A and B are shown apart, each in its own frame.
Chain A
Amino acid sequence: EAQVTQNPRYLITVTGKKLTVTCSQNMNHEYMSWYRQDPGLGLRQIYYSMNVEVTDKGDVPEGYKVSRKEKRNFPLILESPSPNQTSLYFCASSPTGIGINEKLFFGSGTQLSVL
């Protein structure tokens, strides 16, 4: 089944403790992206990647890092999490990221709480 898989589904951590949220897709998509969703603010893009080793900032990249060493994986790294990063996070992918006729496929989300 074609899907975008995020792990973990829920994560509670403390301020300053480094964490990684994993994202994997099995559709051979070149484009992958991370979003955060906060009440009243909708979905905001954090980082995106057009292909392996190619990443760029979205609208809210501060406090986050990403890497794209292989096509299928796009982990989101919080080096020193803070409470304002408590949010619901979504990973998404699409075939090339260029075609306006393309659909975005989303994962099921990761609910992160930073205490």
Chain B
Amino acid sequence: DAKTTQPNSMESNEEEPVHLPCNHSTISGTDYIHWYRQLPSQGPEYVIHGLTSNVNNRMASLAIAEDRKSSTLILHRATLRDAAVYYCIGMKDGGGSNYKLTFGKGTLLTVNP
């Protein structure tokens, strides 16, 4: 997996946008960037993923830098339910013995009312 670096924690206010950064300078050309989040006392859940272009879904948007060395997860209007640990992961294509996923420490997002 590509090594990723995220801030330990971030804080936001409710109803405001949140931009969660991730650096993945060692990413290869075929590595996808996946984001998961883990709500308190729950297992991680999928948020979004992408390769080169920006991606949107009902949960969030993913902006990937042109050089692919960094990406940003965007929550357009943070709610209290978005308070969680967010993990950025580089997933290597090919599977098999390469399918070892290391989630790292992630970013703890706090949302203030």
In A45-94, which residues have CB < 8 Å from any B CB? Answer: 45, 48, 50, 56, 58-59, 90, 92
Please name all residues of chain B whose beta carbon is closer than 8 Å to the beta carbon of A31 when the two chains form the complex.
99
In which size bucket is the chain A interface?
20 to 34
CB distance from A100 to the nearest CB of B (A): 5
In which size bucket is the chain B interface?
20 to 34
In B42-58, which residues have CB < 8 Å from any A CB? Answer: 42-46, 49
Interchain CB contact (< 8 A) of A109 among B30, B43, B100: B43
CB distance from A47 to the nearest CB of B (A): 10
Contact call A100/B32, Cβ cutoff below 8 A:
yes
Interchain CB contact (< 8 A) of A97 among B30, B32, B44, B99: B99
Contact call A43/B103, Cβ cutoff below 8 A:
yes
A101 to B88, CA, bound (A): 15
A71 to B87, CA, bound (A): 28
Contact call A98/B100, Cβ cutoff below 8 A:
no
Instruction: Specify the chain A residue showing the minimal Cβ separation from B49.
Output: A101
CB distance from B92 to the nearest CB of A (A): 7
Q: Decide: A106 near B105, CB < 8 A? Known: A50-B96, A99-B95.
A: no
- 9 closest A-B pairs by beta carbon, nearest first, are A106-B43, A98-B95, A43-B103, A103-B46, A100-B32, A42-B105, A42-B104, A100-B93, A42-B103
Chosen A-B contacts, 7 in total, with CB atoms closer than 8 Å, are: A42-B103, A90-B43, A100-B32, A100-B49, A104-B44, A106-B43, A108-B43
